[in-house]
């Protein structure tokens, strides 16, 4: 039996209530790729082995090992581990215009923008830290939060030097 590796997000089946995923074989590379249920490409179903049932959460990305089913209609997931993304913290300052710290991981970007933040969670450091702590797919989250805090304090200091009045709650 050939074991193939790929990345999949699982969803709950409407018929059985079990967690399932879908894969499609790439036409040029012949590698299996995780796809959504409504994908237009020819796809096969991936079901969890008995050992993995109850340990997998829906809508989280997993690195998986798959074995083909005996009847060839899909795959059985024999090993799954959650994907952890390396986060990158960057500062963007355009004097008198943009003051941002961004945390990028996977396909997600979280902003700390004390000047033009669209929500309370992006205007305050506490809101951004809370959001990052809720994420389970970040590698070394405490290091990322520490780096974010350091850069956010520098951004706020720069804003004050440029003449902006910063509310007290921004860095709390």
**In this prediction, what percent of the chain has a pLDDT beyond 90?**
73
Residues 136 and 157 in one domain: yes
The interaxial angle of helices 141-161 and 125-134, nearest 10 deg, is 160
Find all residues with CB under 8 Å of 162, minimum gap 6, and list them.
95, 96
Residues 147 and 92 in one domain: yes
Quote the mean pLDDT of the chain: 92
Classify the C-alpha dihedral 79-37-15-11 as positive or negative: positive
What DSSP letter does each residue of 64-75 carry, written as one string?
EEEEE-TTSSEE
Work out how many domains the chain is built from and give that number: 2
What pLDDT is stored for residue 127 in this prediction? 93
Whole-model pTM?
0.80
What pLDDT is stored for residue 71 in this prediction? 87
Q: Which of 82, 103, 131 is the last residue of a domain?
A: 82
Residues 73 and 101 in one domain: no
What pLDDT is stored for residue 85 in this prediction? 95
């Amino acid at each position: 039996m050939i074991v193939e590796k790929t990345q999949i997000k699982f969803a709950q089946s409407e018929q059985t209530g079990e967690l399932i995923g879908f894969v499609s074989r790439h036409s040029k590379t012949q590698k299996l790729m995780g796809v959504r249920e409504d994908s237009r490409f020819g796809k096969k179903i991936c079901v969890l082995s008995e050992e993995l049932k109850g340990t997998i959460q829906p809508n989280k990305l997993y690195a998986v090992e798959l074995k083909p089913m005996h009847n060839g209609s899909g795959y059985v997931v024999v090993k799954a581990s959650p994907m952890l993304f390396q986060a990158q913290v960057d500062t963007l300052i355009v004097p008198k215009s943009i003051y941002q710290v961004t945390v990028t991981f996977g396909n997600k970007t979280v902003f700390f923008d004390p000047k033009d933040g669209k929500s309370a969670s992006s205007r305050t450091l506490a809101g951004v830290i809370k959001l990052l702590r809720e994420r389970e797919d970040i590698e070394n989250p405490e290091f990322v939060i520490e780096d974010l805090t350091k850069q956010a304090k520098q951004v706020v200091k720069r804003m004050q030097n440029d003449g902006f009045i910063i509310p007290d709650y921004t860095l709390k």
